Structures are given as C-alpha cells and as structure tokens.
Amino acid sequence: MRVLTDSGFDVVGTVGDARDLVRKARLDHPDVVVTDIQMPPGHADDGLRAALEIRSAQPGVGIWSPAWWGAAAGAALSPA
C-alpha cells in the first residue's frame, strides 16, 4: 500500500475478503481497484469473480492485479 501512497494515489480502503471488496467498491466508487485472483473466503478465484462483479456494476472502475501482470485476464479487464 505504501508504494501506492508514495506514488501519489489516495488509498480509500482496504478489505479482508472478496465480498467486502465488492461492497466497498459500490460504496466508495474508486477509480481503480487493486486485487488478487485468490482472496478469502474461498482462496480460489474469489478476487477474479469480485473484479468481474465490480466491472459489471461499475464499468468505469479500473481493475489491476499484480498476479495478472501480462496475463490475458488482466488485459481483458483493463479499461478500453
């Protein structure tokens, strides 16, 4: 998180699981959501599913995940 704040980004929240990520994104209307593919509660593809749900509800929200760097999933979720 410090890398983001040191780079001039405002971090408006942190979450503990994918459900909370979706909830916070709906409440806070961020420009970008930083997530991972694997998140609690299931530690499978919960973060990916949350990202897809967020983009479906809020198409203007950017999604970035370090795990997707250069991956097709990350490119498919990037803003047009």
For 52, the 3-state DSSP assignment is helix
Domain map (residue ranges) of the chain? 2-77
* pTM for the predicted model, two decimal places: 0.76
Report whether CATH 3.40.50.2300 matches the domain 2-77.
yes
Mean pLDDT of the 8-26 span? 92
> With bands split at pLDDT 50, 70 and 90, how would you rate the model's confidence at 10?
confident
Rounded distance, CA 78 to CA 42, Å? 24
pLDDT at 75 over 60: no
Cα 22 versus chain centre, distance: 9
Rounded distance, CA 7 to CA 2, Å? 8
> Average pLDDT over the chain, rounded to whole?
84
Q: Indicate the residue type of 18.
A: A
Quick: pLDDT tens for 42-55. Answer: 888 999 999 999 99
* Predicted pLDDT of residue 80: 45
